[in-house]
Amino acid sequence: MKLITAILKPFKLDDVKTALQAHGVTGMTVSEASGFGRQKGHTEVYRGAEYTVDLVPKVRLEVLADDADADSVVDVIVKAASTGSIGDGKVWITPVDQVVRVRTGERGPDAI
Amino acid sequence: MGTRERRERSNESDRSLLSLFYAAAKEHLEIGGDKGIALAAVGGYGRGELSPGSDLDILILHQEQFPQERLSNFVNALLYPLWDTHKVDHSVRTRDETSEASNSDLKVALGLLDIRLVAGDPSLVAAVQRDIVDSWHKNSRARLPELKASMALRHERAGELAYLLEPDIKEARGGLRDINALRAIALSGAVAVPLERISWAESTLNNLRETLHTTTARNKDRLLFQEQGKVASALGYADADAMMSEVAHAARLVDYLLEYTWHLLEHKGRDGLGRFLRRPRTISVAKNISVSSKEVVIDPLVSIGDDPVIGLRVAATAAQLGLPISLETCALIKQSLISGEGVLPAPWPREARESLISLIGAGESMVRIFEVLDQEEIIFGWIPEWRPLRSLAQRNALHRHTVDRHMVETAVYAATLTRKVHRPDLLLFAALFHDIGKGNVEDHSDRGERLIAPLAARVGFSSADVITLQLLVKYHLLLSATATRRDLDDPATIASIIDVIPDLNTLELLHALSVADGEATGSAGWSDWKATLVSDLVWRVRQAMSGSLLAEPPALSDEQLLLAQNGVLRVELLKHPSGYSIEIVSPDKPGLLSLVAGVLNSLRLDVKSARTKTHGPSAVMYWIVTPEAHAPEITEVDLRNEIVKAFEDLKPVEEKLLARAKAYASIPSIPVAPPEIIFLNDAATDATVIEVRSHDRPGLLFRIGSAITQSKVDIRSAIVTTLGAEAIDTLYVTELNGGALSGQRAQEVTSRLRLALK
């Protein structure tokens, strides 16, 4: 099993959610995040006062997937999240040892 | 479900206890049970109010005449049969032990205040009741603060009944325990508590608790979200929202009365040091309004028919001073609205609108005043549109308040942002009414846009301002929705905002309103993350917009230009219902603005707005001023003479203003944000623009003018505006020999201004 984590532009969340649901992904976790990658922050000037926006708002999306589905889920996310411009985000996959559904106690892929 | 059922449940318990008591007394004490031993009900059971899940709180009183073993057997025989059917909370005490327990434990004392004989010796229960009530009465100065402290801890732990998604009906602020506390305060005799005002709230909350216990078959008092539908249906409400609105209304009523009762206890008839006064001292704080016993009151013999704005003036004054309005004054205002005497004409006079803005802009202290206006049903006399929003529930995890309280909270946050905008009055008004469209299936932004227009026009806003307010209400969710859901790098996103937001002024207001609305909604709906996105969007839109936010220097008429050429002092004064408009043409000299402002202020005239411009050897000034309470009438001749005298020697004016500042320092005030001073060197040709945004106070313009004059800088023109309790002064300044200030000089003047406005 794999945990797929994606950092996305906030406005792309709806598109990614819709695409994942169409792909058969039924559950995901979304949280607010801030950070920067190669785009870095940028400096803004308003009425002589300069302030640095060094952490750019993003959303963090997490999806659990079976080993066989992980790559296709990543493809769906990347396709839906891409605008082609800097700051589109990142997606990474991490291995997961065990998953348990709290309500039923099911374990492994059945709990996804 | 109702009082009768609770009473019947209590009577039933009385009957079973009675037979158990006499049977046990006969068997173990070998007496009939009438002498020297008694069974009493305390707490809620003492009041004859038993919900299905209530504890049976009982006290067994004795006189130590029985051996310990026999007494224990008696108590066990009495209690064992009850433990299967009730949750019993009992104690066995003598009269002295009861007094001791009551003196050392507040909870015991409160329970004993409701003591009632169930079985046994009536004289024993009567004696204990006398002891408890006498002691509560005698020691009220120590026990009531103890009660207040314990309530504050409970409120912190349990939150507010009116606004929690899953409140505890008994423990939360405004709940049943608070009603008992009010009853205890009344019993102390320290202050009269109009308990009849909360009888509706008490029965509403008791019915709810009883139904909750019945429908859940548990004795828990927390009204969980999942239970609300069932409880509402059992009680015959249309839905859970309707029930929670009524809960909120009841809780707010209890809380209001409690707050006011504490205030009375702490201040009625006392001076600032808490000493009792034979005759309360009164300080006049506004026209026909005084402060007495730390309450704002309407002066005796004032006819509201002659001064219909007084109600709003009272509210604004109380909010700005951070003091409550006396109940008698509330009753007077309410009565005047019912009789029609206090009804405001449409559109409202300027003073009424300014008072409303001052009230809204008072920050935290406005919440309490607005609650008073709501509870006393005064606000509906001025703003009937508020009634459908009263305690309107928002049962979701996103909101933490009812609709009306959310709008009040938004106004509180907006008051912290008034320095960030050029029209604080529009921001505050929009904040207070941004969700006016809620409570209907139609989209609340669209409905709000429609409802705000007639309201704003009636309150007296110009038609241009009404349009801005409509935009603010219609689009109050636009910035946060766009910032989180649209690509900010896409020019089409920016264009979509510019399409509906016509200018920088509206954008600035909408940004502040979005922040205030978000902050008031709470962490579920607003975060630094969202705030950053919204700021980014606003910044991008601002870059794409053109225009200026600054007030333009005033234009002079041909007649004014002609008069200015003469260089002779000329004063023209026109009296209006709420004050004077004054035109002054005067030989120009450094410090002229502060000189005239100082003269006006020394005559106890508040500057509401001013437009001044230098032309040739003269300055042309147009002022709108309002007289303070008890200010003497002035004439053109008086004013001219005062200005001439000030030209010769300004010292008497300065001394007068210093004395007035000292007198004002003794009047209570609320905390306000520090002034904001902005310098712009590229906003005008040959001049530097200084913008000062500050809370208005007597002599403000005099201080600003003096600080600038001391910096040896000339004021070429000025635009001074007071909006509610906020002042925005835009000054076009130059060096004495002409030209804009250097960066260093600008910093120097800023420092001096900051110091002067501290």
CATH number of the domain that residue A73 is part of: 3.30.70.120
Distance from CA of A110 to the nearest CA of B (A): 29
Show which of B138, B173, B192 is a domain's final residue: B138
Q: Which residues of B590-603 are buried (b: 16+ CB within 10 A; e: fewer)?
A: bbbbbbbbbbbbbb
B194 and B47 co-located in one domain: no
A54 and B CB contact within 8 Å: no
Contact at CB, B489 and A83, closer than 8 angstroms: yes
Residue appearing with tokens 């732990």: B157
pLDDT, one tens digit per residue, over B599-657 is 999 999 989 899 998 888 899 999 999 888 788 899 999 999 999 999 999 999 999 88
> In this predicted structure, what is the pLDDT of residue B21?
92
Please give the single-letter amino acid code of residue B32. Answer: G
Q: Which residues contact B565 (CB under 8 A, 6 or more apart)?
A: B615, B616, B617, B618
In a domain, B310, yes or no: no
Contact at 8 Å (CB) between B553 and B719? yes
CA atoms within 13 A on the CB side of B188: 24
Most distant CA pair in chain A, distance: 60
Residue appearing with tokens 């099911």: A106
Report how far Cα B383 is from the mean position of its chain's Cα atoms.
Answer: 17
- Find which of A7, A8, A11 to mutate to test the B interface (most B CBs within 10 Å of its CB): A11
Quick one: closest CA in A to B743, which residue?
A48
pTM: 0.82
How many angstroms separate the CA atoms of A111 and B620, rounded? 81
> In this predicted structure, what is the pLDDT of residue B549?
66
The enclosing domain of B262 has a CATH number of: 1.20.120.330
How long, in residues, is chain A? 112
Q: Which residues contact B443 (CB under 8 A, 6 or more apart)?
A: B437
What 3-state DSSP class applies to B282?
Answer: strand
Give the structural domain span for A23.
Answer: 2-111
Alpha carbon of B235 to those of B51, B54, B207, B232, B245: distances in Å? 15, 19, 8, 5, 14
In a domain, B301, yes or no: no
Contact at 8 Å (CB) between B209 and B221? yes
Give the structural domain span for B711.
Answer: 565-756
Distance from CA of B571 to the nearest CA of A (A): 39
B247 and B155 co-located in one domain: yes
B636 and B689 co-located in one domain: yes
Question: How many residue contacts between A and B have a Cβ separation below 8 Å?
Answer: 38
Vertex B125: Cα angle to B123 and B127 (nearest 5)? 65
Contacts of B539 in chain A (CB under 8 A): 44, 46
What 3-state DSSP class applies to B392?
Answer: coil
- Find which of B530, B533, B679 to mutate to test the A interface (most A CBs within 10 Å of its CB): B533
> In this predicted structure, what is the pLDDT of residue A45?
46
> In this predicted structure, what is the pLDDT of residue B269?
56
Contact at CB, B487 and A55, closer than 8 angstroms: no
| Number of domains composing chain A | 1
B717 and B703 co-located in one domain: yes
pLDDT, one tens digit per residue, over B519-578 is 999 887 888 888 989 999 999 999 898 766 667 777 888 888 888 888 789 999 999 878
B535 and B570 co-located in one domain: no
In a domain, B150, yes or no: yes
In a domain, B628, yes or no: yes
Contact at CB, B680 and A57, closer than 8 angstroms: no
Quote the ipTM score: 0.70
Distance from CA of B485 to the nearest CA of A (A): 4
Most distant CA pair in chain B, distance: 114
Burial class (CB in 10 A: 0-12, 13-18, 19+), B674: exposed
B90 and B219 co-located in one domain: no
Quick one: closest CA in A to B678, which residue?
A47
Contact at 8 Å (CB) between B111 and B46? yes
Quick one: closest CA in A to B529, which residue?
A57
B511 and B613 co-located in one domain: no
Record the tokens describing residue B453, joined without a space: 């227009």
In a domain, B611, yes or no: yes
> In this predicted structure, what is the pLDDT of residue A49?
45
Contacts of A57 in chain B (CB under 8 A): 529-530, 532-533, 536
How many angstroms separate the CA atoms of B591 and B597, rounded? 10
Contacts of B532 in chain A (CB under 8 A): 34, 53, 55, 57
In a domain, B409, yes or no: yes
Please give the single-letter amino acid code of residue A6. Answer: A
Show which of B521, B549, B577 is a domain's final residue: B549
Contact at CB, A32 and B486, closer than 8 angstroms: no
Residue appearing with tokens 């320290």: B190
Contacts of A13 in chain B (CB under 8 A): 485
B411 and B520 co-located in one domain: yes
Quick one: closest CA in B to A34, which residue?
B529
| Number of domains composing chain B | 4
Burial class (CB in 10 A: 0-12, 13-18, 19+), B33: buried
How many angstroms separate the CA atoms of B693 and B638, rounded? 31
Alpha carbon of B161 to those of B251, B252, B377, B470: distances in Å? 6, 8, 21, 33
How many angstroms separate the CA atoms of B753 and B732, rounded? 15
Contact at CB, B539 and A44, closer than 8 angstroms: yes
Please give the single-letter amino acid code of residue B426. Answer: L
The enclosing domain of B14 has a CATH number of: 3.30.460.10
> In this predicted structure, what is the pLDDT of residue B584?
94
> In this predicted structure, what is the pLDDT of residue A57?
87
Record the tokens describing residue B346, joined without a space: 């449409």
Contact at 8 Å (CB) between B415 and B363? yes
B542 and B583 co-located in one domain: no
Flag residues of chain B having pLDDT under 50.
Answer: 271-273
In a domain, B295, yes or no: no
B8 and B131 co-located in one domain: yes
B29 and B66 co-located in one domain: yes
> In this predicted structure, what is the pLDDT of residue B58?
94
Characterize the bridge pairing of strands A89-95 and A56-65. unpaired
Show which of B113, B138, B163 is a domain's final residue: B138
Which residues of chain B are at the A interface, by a Cβ-Cβ cutoff of 8 Å? 483-489, 527-530, 532-533, 536, 539, 542, 678-680
B471 and B528 co-located in one domain: yes
Distance from CA of B528 to the nearest CA of A (A): 9
> In this predicted structure, what is the pLDDT of residue B651?
92
